[in-house]
Structure 1
């Protein structure tokens, strides 16, 4: 039976707090019958048992982004919805139910004010003279604990807390943390908008006294961000602020609102300072036991100050938050001195450590220092630059104490623990993995363990750099949302996880960071070092919205981005009327970190100019806008590129792998020269004994272009390469995430320059897209959106004897795998209801292809939905 599943509203499952006026409803489909498809649907939306919207039966195969079209939604209201589908024979089939709840839909409903600590009351933390703290952290202010006691006449039947911060906050209610979010509200361009969260706190409230509280820290708002030595902190403000309101409903229909105002009080607690780059310092003896619970005496607390009476632009959190998603146990704990232990988690991760301390005397100082790699058995920390990544705990003297720094995060595999009493047991040190909790929906596996490790490294790199924004690295003093890194890796990211809502939210910051002239930046959200975007960097503002449309059918994000996309290409065109992009190129990084090659920067820039114009034209067609001006401009840029950079024999200026890849992948060559240019590309790889020279920009194109033009053997040779430079080289030397650079460490030179040498940086992991699309063969047909038309072309090769991948698309599950069985290849594919596929069976003998029943079939097949198996001669 045809069955809907994975119902979502605006890309999230049962979201609590939606402020879109027309939320988009979606579902996926599965069926136990081949050739099944949805022919109609019906959506019923109710609230309080009353129908708000009923589409009736709609004759349509669409199952994604159906816009709510009922009466105006009300704030803070739960809406239940049910979808019923009809199958390929026109019979009513399965149904499924879900719900969403609206947030605060009108600005005038915000009654709270922004509150903050009084800087004149509590002095900055001044550690003892004997302390070894640096000047960066020595005088950081202690985070305030904010508190408000109130009385309720009865236990409520419904209660919602809406909260946010200019900074980072942890909400508390009646002695416990509220929810499972970490580092809320996340990083946005605070000057234009701040996210807020909605929590269901009904069960936490009771009749009588209740206490609402929060711990408030600098976070991205006022803490250290980036590497600009002239402006390393306080990019948005000099101190954090908190805003909240609690809406309570009672059985008799009455309501009450408790909001942030002058009645709140504050004081510092055990946390002496907390910074996301530097670390957290906590004094267990200063713990405010019971401060967030009824019955606590807060008479000596200080009134807060009102920092701002206008709420500003507040946006309900539109995607999954940062959460702790996994715990890692230590693979080894080694005593390396009288009071030092070295902990190895076996995996380069992002997050924090939970340390259990047993039997320590009061005031013992325990220090945790973090690093990604070791040098001569000690932590290698030079590559952290100014990030200190150090947590400090002063014990209170209890029999058992737990230290977990909740307001910082680090990129690390190793932790040095100094000052721990006695012997540190592995069970007492736990790695807590943090990242934006985008649902992982894809998987790749093969029978080569090095390739499997590569794929694990790619996934871990995505997790570690998906902390509120898509960052470049999680360990050093940077962690910025670089657009090129994001756009290069985005196709791989969509294979691994459902990142639609994550990217859509971040793109609002990309648009906000554009200059008045229309130039996208290099990074978003913007900080002090903002410049006009470089080629391939600024182009991310065009490429990613188009990708979201292709993968998820995300018309809304494309519509919201289209004006900025047009402004970007107009900005480039305005300053480069001859259509060769040489002027206003920003920092112009070129093919960043390429090896033994120098791709001409004006060639790379012009190729990206052409590609962005082509995508704007495609977006215009998708949105029903006149695309002809952009298509004409693209044709002129293409001609200018050929005239400037391409010779009659197919040589592309610079004669580099990346130069040929850009020309081929972006369709910038005359047809007669395509084979000649590709031959030069392949020859360059071969003459280097199957090694690459590509940097950030070229690497994503390398294996796909080789495979498309009939040299999958070269792509596999690069995949299996284990000498420098290659993916396998880093794995052979212990990498558990993707390195920033091919030569991050080499046997000849050791570590690269510490100024820029991250061991967790996802850009070079963009080969992940080819593992799905080339090795397993899952691609979309040209012109397809949302995997409606599949192109399944598995590539058998290399040392592999089996490989396969699966993805949850907006249609449903797509899978493709192959294995070798003697002189036969066995291919299995799965196509979701409503999709069709062109399958190309990899065989040397087209007449040998057989279906599951043994009947002969063609080697190129047109398939409808279902599960299929084919065999053929290799």
Structure 2
């Protein structure tokens, strides 16, 4: 490759040419094998119906380029290409043209909102139709459609696209989304028909907990659409939903997010002439006029990615449970539904029940709470049917099947995985098999919970857009996938909900839980998530749009804090799901909720100050920076002693003070040392919840305690990141012990096995272990700073940055470490090697070798006189002791493992004296003596 070759990038849903703005943001990615390549300039060329418009860019800018041409008009269909020139003077060829279609409307929404007349008490799936005539040649046909609920449109019998459960979930009372679909190829001369399948989903679900569950958006789904027909002679006409459309029920007899879907194949809508209800000429006998509903809020064009069927998984095992039930195992906790091929007599009912886990061999449905998660298929008896529910989804690994005629054929059942179709941009690999599996679980957790909104879980009667979860997970998500459009759309909804609650961000977005109440780390999604998007994508447009939201949230908190600048005495989730909290009281954490709240008040005020500075608002930057300093001083005065002890002597408190940069540099060493001590005292087990878990590893690393972080990462005892992996987890669990060691599901009412929050560890794996991070927004400057961990042979991270693919990798070979860095064109890398040396490099592939750090020598002697701190720092000795205890007195082993405080002031003999008799103590002493002798002989 001798010339730089560019590829145009446009802000549009992944795998789509449709843009939602008349002035979309554009950019390009350059590929070249020239070393140290930097762009000197670029030429853009827009082809608008044969009219060419050009624009020249001087310098290195190649991402987040403001639209440099005249604004697009609705339905403009243009192409954009680019060619770049490097600072070496080499000019590349023109890129392949990128199609851009203006999928927005401009004051043209005229469709009536319609649905099924005379609906039942529950949300009734509906079928809608109309027919129209085509008298002359159609040059283009564009369908705009939306729903409060979910829908699919068929034109002349063919579905118009492959999207699933569109248009998704927004706060329907404030914002609806329309799809824009080119249906020109489905139009035929003469008579045409539109058929719509419609169900309630989010639009008619009862949201809320237990007796508080209620309808939010209405009892029945409704639909609105308009089809623009543009003719070759220049004329045009609209076909719109109105009172003349017809409606009916059909084979989908029930559909709900939580309840599942029921399909009666005997009720398929085919007339005596073999025509389906979406075919022209269909016999509408028995159909009725549609009901007309209140208009939907004028819909906006989609900015988020579509949801699609993206993977299929086969059955890996057919299980007969102890009670005789047939359960299929798909080997992976996933989100989607089943597709079955089945035959049987008319009236036969096939029942599919879904769950994430087995409990003592049976389907574990208790964590579903009120969600039935059950699909039902009634057969028509006219041969084989292939069926998949259309308007629901489930979180499951296992499916119990009843009603199957004869033995279940595993080849006739497939799990269909659905989620938002985002571009995969990040990968991580390591030699440590359990950590590698942990990272794979993080990826699957993201896929399962990124379905139109960032949800908390995909299986039970919840599936809500909890703000705290995405606040902590956004950095990990933005590495693994291009989540810009996904979170852009969700942040718009957050701001709308916030506007209607006096600046307070609700717990969930869309808000279906009642009046908003402020909660630290949850509402702070308003300030944190836009900043993450700026850091990872340099997307100042989102930051600018969300700035009023960021400011409103912070101002609301400052009013609560008052002159003391402390957010105290109010409701808080706090360090939610601290492992020491009782199963039924997940907010009862070791770190006081007021400390969490004021730390986040500082973080949000600081974020507003930085955003204001970036956006050129110097006065507000100064104002909020001063406020952040006031909050800092109040926090330090109230919660930190002069010697560096926190008033809540717990891991999360120290981690926040360090990572949020609240503590002054003079206190950082003491805070870090105490954090490391607490981690060792816990036996290198996790002691943090939602707030502390994403940051504890960074706090340890920044303060020089990398090996403590390593021990915490590779711990397999409960609670730890790897305990679920040893229990067979294939996604991230909501609780550290969602399943207990004996295979019993955690007794708490809130237990999920697919909940990405604790998967925020992924960001540390990418940035620190592998060493790949942005040193400037959008990775224009890339930090390569790998941290080879003892016991790991290699680790690598790759990320498709807005400039191209970057990579950081290290490999251990004997006493040497080889580091590889790949820097994409038009960027620079700042490389910090494990030996502390630094290098600045340009684009290309670079390699170095350095000496590996030698592991700390284990003590030559270990015995009953060894301190507990020395024992836990000696994994080999710990295993010897634990093995002896498990063989001699299992209850003592359990107590030793779970209740010991591993402090330097107590010795081993004292710790086990009350739990063991002289004989077992002697056995332990002998085993340790053998270990000491073996070490002396090495």
Q: Which residue of 2 aligns with 1:426?
A: 410
Alignment pair present for 1:823 and 2:815: yes
Q: Any idea what SS the aligned residue of 1:746 has?
A: coil
Q: Is the 8 A contact 2:528 2:604 kept in 1?
A: yes
The match for 1:136 is none
Does 1:48 find its partner at 2:49? yes
Distance in 2 between the 1:489 and 1:307 partners? 39
Q: Which whole-Å CA distance do the structure 1 matches of 2:162 and 2:743 have between them?
A: 44
Return closer, same or farther for 1:294/1:435 CA change in 2, 3 Å cut-off: same
Q: Take 1:798 and 1:214, find their aligned partners in 2: how far apart are those partners? A: 59
1:403 aligns with 2:387: yes
Q: Does 1:36 align with 2:37?
A: yes
Equivalent of residue 862 in structure 1, options 831, 840, 864: 840
1:80 and 2:98 correspond: no
CA 1:338 to 1:702, structure 2 compared with 1: closer, same or farther past 3 Å?
Answer: closer
Measure, in 2, the Cα distance between the counterparts of 1:529 and 1:743: 30
**Residue from 381, 387, 406 that aligns with 2:371:** 387
Partner SS for 2:848? strand
Quote the residue 1:101 is aligned against.
Answer: 101
2:608 aligns with 616
Q: Which moved more, 1:148-157 or 1:674-683?
A: 148-157
Over 3 Å counting, the alpha-carbon distance change for 1:104 and 1:442 in structure 2 is: closer
Equivalent in 176, 193, 202 of residue 175 of structure 2: 193
Which residue matches 1:517? Answer: 502
Instruction: Report the counterpart of residue 351 of structure 2 in structure 1.
Output: 367
Q: Which residue of 1 aligns with 2:279?
A: 293
- For residue 575 of structure 1, the aligned residue among 560, 568, 589 is 560
Q: CA deviation at 1:749?
A: 8.5
Deviation at 1:250, TM superposition (A): 2.9
Matched residue of 1:417: which SS?
Answer: strand
Aligned-partner SS, 1:513: helix
Q: 1:438 to 1:332 in 2, by over 3 A?
A: same
CA–CA separation in structure 1 for the residues paired with 2:657 and 2:88 = 47
CA distance in 2, matches of 1:353, 1:68: 44
Residues 777-826 of structure 1, C-alpha deviation per residue, up to 9 Å, x if partnerless? 01223xx2111122211000132101101001112111000101222211
The answer as to whether partners of 2:566 and 2:631 remain within 8 angstroms in 1 is no
Larger CA deviation: 397-406 vs 86-95: 86-95
What residue in structure 1 maps to residue 291 of structure 2? 305
Give the conservation status (yes or no) of the 8 Å contact 2:168–2:452. Answer: yes
Q: 1:68 to 1:773 in 2, by over 3 A?
A: same
Matches of 2:360 and 2:742, distance apart in 1? 16
Matched, 1:539 2:520: no
The residue number in structure 1 matching 2:548 is: 563
Once the two structures are TM-superposed, the CA of residue 385 in structure 1 deviates from its matched residue by 0.7
Farther-moved stretch of structure 1 (433-442 vs 149-158): 149-158
In structure 1, distance between residues paired with 2:322 and 2:721? 36
- Deviations 1:744-775 (CA, angstroms, capped at 9, x unpaired): 12226832124100000000000000111011
1:572-626 Cα shifts (integer Å, max 9, x gaps): 11121234433584x4111001123510111111111001111111101110002
CA separation of 1:319/1:656 partners in 2, compared to 1, >3 Å: closer, same or farther?
same
**What does the per-residue CA deviation read over 1:243-278, in whole Å, with 9 as the maximum and x for residues that have no partner?**
111112233333332111122111000011100111
Whether 2:326 is the aligned partner of 1:341: answer yes
User: Which residue number corresponds to residue 251 of structure 1?
Assistant: 232
- The Cα shift of 1:20 comes to 1.4
Q: Who is 1:19 aligned against?
A: 20
Residues in 2 aligned to 1:305 and 1:268: alpha-carbon distance in whole angstroms: 13
Asked whether the equivalents of residues 86 and 94 of structure 1 are also in contact (C-alpha less than 8 Å), the reply is: no
Q: Is the 8 A contact 2:127 2:247 kept in 1?
A: yes
Aligned partners of 1:401 and 1:147: how far apart in 2? Answer: 24
3-state secondary structure, aligned to 1:93: coil
| Further displaced range: 251-260 or 597-606 | 251-260
* Cα distance, 1:153 vs structure 2: 2.3
SS in 2 for 1:343: strand
User: Which residue in the other structure is 1:64 paired with?
Assistant: 63
Q: 1:484 aligns with which of 468, 488, 499?
A: 468
Match of 2:113 in 1: 114
**Secondary structure of 2:692's aligned partner:** helix
Cα distance change, pair 581–217 in 1 and its aligned pair in 2 (3 A): farther
Which residue does the alignment assign to 2:459? 475
TM-score w.r.t. structure 1 length? 0.93
Q: Which residue of 1 aligns with 2:877?
A: none
Kept after mapping to 1: 8 A contact 2:149/2:221: yes
Deviation at 1:337, TM superposition (A): 9.2
> Given the superposition, is the C-alpha separation of residues 5 and 351 from structure 1 closer, same or farther in structure 2, using an over 3 Å criterion?
farther
Distance in 1 (CA, whole Å) between partners of 2:467 and 2:709 is 27
- For the residue of structure 2 that corresponds to 1:184, the secondary structure is coil
Q: SS of the counterpart of 1:29?
A: strand
CA distance in 2, matches of 1:604, 1:512: 26
CA-based RMSD: 1.8
CA distance in 2, matches of 1:144, 1:264: 12
Please list the CA deviations of residues 139-179 of structure 1 after superposition, one character each: whole Å capped at 9, or x if unmatched. Answer: 53431100111221245332111111011111111112220
**8 A Cα contact 1:224 1:275, kept in partner:** no
Contact in 1 for aligned 2:261/2:374 (Cα 8 Å): yes
In structure 2, what is the Cα distance between the partners aligned to 1:645 and 1:260?
61
Q: 1:420 to 1:340 in 2, by over 3 A?
A: farther
State whether residues 8 and 80 of structure 2, in contact with CA within 8 Å, keep that contact through their aligned partners in structure 1: no
Q: CA deviation at 1:105?
A: 2.9
Structure 2 SS opposite 1:807: strand
Q: C-alpha distance in 2, partners of 1:2/1:714?
A: 48
- The answer for the alignment partner of 1:770 in structure 2 is 764
TM-superposed deviation, 1:446:
1.1
Distance change in 2, residues 1:533/1:398 (3 Å): farther
Counterpart of 1:402 in 2: which secondary structure?
strand
Shift of 1:311: 5.2
| Counterpart-to-counterpart distance in 2, 1:94 and 1:532 | 56
SS of residue in 1 equivalent to 2:138: coil
Structure 1 CA distance, aligned partners of 2:568 and 2:217? 31
Match of 1:668 among 662, 667, 686: 662
Which has the higher Rg, Structure 1 or Structure 2? Answer: 2
Q: CA deviation at 1:708?
A: 2.1
CA distance in 2, matches of 1:704, 1:29: 33
Is the 2:536–2:779 contact (alpha carbons within 8 Å) kept by the matching residues of 1?
yes
The 8 Å contact of residues 828 and 867 in structure 1, kept in 2 or not, is answered as yes
Alignment partner of 2:749: what SS? helix
Q: What's the TM-score once normalised by structure 2's chain length?
A: 0.87
What secondary structure is seen at the aligned counterpart in 2 of 1:739?
coil
Q: Distance in 2 between matches of 1:429 and 1:18?
A: 37
1:364-390 per-position Cα deviation (integer Å, ceiling 9, x unaligned) = 011100000001211011111111101
Aligned residues: 834
Matched residue SS, 2:263 = strand
Counterpart contact for 2:5–2:92, Cα < 8 Å: no
* Deviation sequence 1:470-510 (CA, Å, 0-9, x none): 00000011111111100100000011000011101100111
Conserved? CA contact 2:259–2:371, under 8 Å: yes
Q: CA deviation at 1:282?
A: 0.9
> Are residues 1:143 and 2:125 paired?
yes
1:366 is paired with a residue of what secondary structure? strand
| Other-structure match for 2:687 | 693
Contact 1:6 1:13 in 2 (8 A): no
Task: After superposing the two structures, state which structure 1 stretch, 630-639 or 251-260, moved more.
Answer: 251-260
The superposition leaves residues 839-868 of structure 1 with CA deviations (integer Å, 9 ceiling, x where unpaired) of: 11224xx7xxxxxxxxxxxx3111111111
**Residue pair 2:360, 2:744 contacting (<8 A) in 1 also:** no
Whether the 8 Å CA contact 1:192–1:313 is kept in 2: the answer is no
